[in-house]
Amino acid sequence: MSAASRRGTPSLPDAAPASSAQGLSHIPVLLAEVIGALEIEPGAHVVDGTFGGGGYAKAALDAGAIVTGFDRDPRAVARGTPMADASAGQLRLINRTFAGMAQALGPASADAVALDLGYSSIQMDDPAYGLSFQADGPLDMRLSGEGESAADFVNGASEAEIADVLYLYGEEPAARRIARAIVADRPFRTTGELAGLVRRVVKAGKGGKDTKRDPATRSFQAIRIRVNDELGELERGLEAAEAVLKPGGRLAVVSFHSLEDRIVKHFLAERSGSLPSGSRYLPEARNVRAPTFERPAKARRPSDAELLANPRARSATLRVARRTGAQAWGAGTGANGRAETHGEDRA
């Protein structure tokens, strides 16, 4: 048990009304593009796998859809309850990660699935979540409020494990130096304490020069991914979306960093049969599975106008594909597109 666990890392607030999230708002990214790509018809069943601030769900309701919204964050579900109550039964909210949509809904039950893999502005701007290094709050980062917190991880993990997480999930060049400093200076209780240490380490390695983005960005991304198992949830969620979509159904996924986008791109390429073939000197592997998605459309990025209105959209990438009538492949059918190599920190 880690030092943080023995001290009793505080749990997340149970509901949004008592949270500091009151008054915060969220601007959904690539909203028009996502809703257009889903080709929603009145009465269609749309799954919003990442309900968050409810932006996609509201737009789908306005288009006449019946919407099922998933979110692992109980506070997001609580904030969305008034919307569900006012929908006359058209919106159902489920406090569950989107990876569980197939178990909740059953096969071939949805006409469209939307996944926005980013965090809502409400979550990022509310210090109670412990997600942001821009405001001091508890070093938590758990969306569900359950399991190991960020404080548990940084205060209890080995230097090697911390370094691997920072490098693999944050692509942080100074991973080894940061991990060494974390182990030397722990325990950490707040986001401000951890961010301050990372900034000192990274800036020291750059001769004290400021960087274009906050030096804590990569480390916070990495720890957040580790705490919430974001890449594992994404892999399972894509397979769940494949299972619940009806033939002709549309999948739209908005990712926000290269690790996510690599998994989405690989999944759609694999499931559409468009992965590059092997070497011409080797026999080509015979794909015995029928493609479950048509060849995906070209990825889309936010317009200049959207970036001006919402700078947080700058790293968003939208990928869209249409479901075929083939049987879902299910889990464990091939490579997942994750980086598998462990690089050395040269800093």
Element (H, E) at 254: strand 245-255
Q: Are residues 218 and 237 in the same domain?
A: no
Contacts 24+ apart (CB under 8 A), 8-14: 9/138, 9/140, 9/149, 9/151, 9/152, 10/138, 10/140, 11/145, 12/75, 12/128, 12/129, 12/140, 12/142, 12/145, 13/75, 13/128, 14/74, 14/75, 14/145
Please tell me the predicted confidence (pLDDT) of residue 13.
36
Q: Are residues 61 and 186 in the same domain?
A: no
- Alpha carbon separation from 116 to 53, 156, 189, 313 (Å, rounded): 11, 31, 30, 11
Q: Are residues 171 and 313 in the same domain?
A: no
Q: Are residues 248 and 218 in the same domain?
A: no
Whether 19 maps to a domain, the answer reads no
Q: Are residues 302 and 176 in the same domain?
A: no
Please tell me the predicted confidence (pLDDT) of residue 20.
43
Q: What is the CATH number of the domain that holds 115?
A: 3.40.50.150
Please tell me the predicted confidence (pLDDT) of residue 125.
81
Whether 337 maps to a domain, the answer reads no
- How far apart CA 308 and CA 136 sit, in angstroms, is 27
Please tell me the predicted confidence (pLDDT) of residue 277.
62
DSSP collapsed to 3 states, 138-179: ECCCCCCCCCCCHHHHHHHCCHHHHHHHHHHHHCCCCHHHHH
Q: Are residues 100 and 240 in the same domain?
A: yes
Q: Are residues 181 and 240 in the same domain?
A: no
- The model carries a pTM of 0.84
pLDDT per residue rounded down to tens, the chain (347 residues): 334 333 333 333 333 333 444 444 567 899 999 999 999 999 999 999 999 999 999 999 999 999 999 999 999 999 999 999 999 999 999 999 999 999 999 999 999 999 999 887 788 888 888 888 888 999 999 999 899 999 999 999 999 999 999 999 999 999 999 999 999 999 999 999 999 999 999 987 665 455 578 999 999 999 999 999 999 999 999 999 999 999 999 999 999 999 999 999 999 999 999 887 655 555 555 557 899 999 998 999 999 999 999 888 889 999 999 999 999 998 654 444 444 333 344 34
Q: Are residues 256 and 268 in the same domain?
A: yes
Q: Which domain holds residue 180?
A: 3-8+130-228
Tokens of 346: 């040269």
In one-letter notation, the amino acid at residue 76 is A
User: How many residues belong to the chain?
Assistant: 347
Which of 212, 228, 244 is at the close of a domain? 228
- How far apart CA 124 and CA 186 sit, in angstroms, is 24
Whether 106 maps to a domain, the answer reads yes
Please tell me the predicted confidence (pLDDT) of residue 122.
83
Whether 16 maps to a domain, the answer reads no
Helices 175-185 and 191-205 cross at an angle (nearest 10°) of 130
Q: Are residues 300 and 211 in the same domain?
A: no
Q: What is the CATH number of the domain that holds 181?
A: 1.10.150.170
The domain total for the chain is: 2
Which of 228, 248, 265 is at the close of a domain? 228
Q: Are residues 135 and 216 in the same domain?
A: yes
Q: Are residues 224 and 239 in the same domain?
A: no
Element (H, E) at 68: strand 66-70
Q: Are residues 212 and 254 in the same domain?
A: no
- Alpha carbon separation from 192 to 96, 124, 130, 132, 195 (Å, rounded): 30, 14, 10, 9, 5
Whether 238 maps to a domain, the answer reads yes
Q: Give the HSE-up count for residue 313: Cα atoms under 13 Å, Cβ half-sphere.
A: 19
Whether 87 maps to a domain, the answer reads yes
- Alpha carbon separation from 174 to 155, 166, 180, 307 (Å, rounded): 19, 9, 10, 30
Which of 228, 249, 284 is at the close of a domain? 228
Whether 259 maps to a domain, the answer reads yes
Whether 139 maps to a domain, the answer reads yes
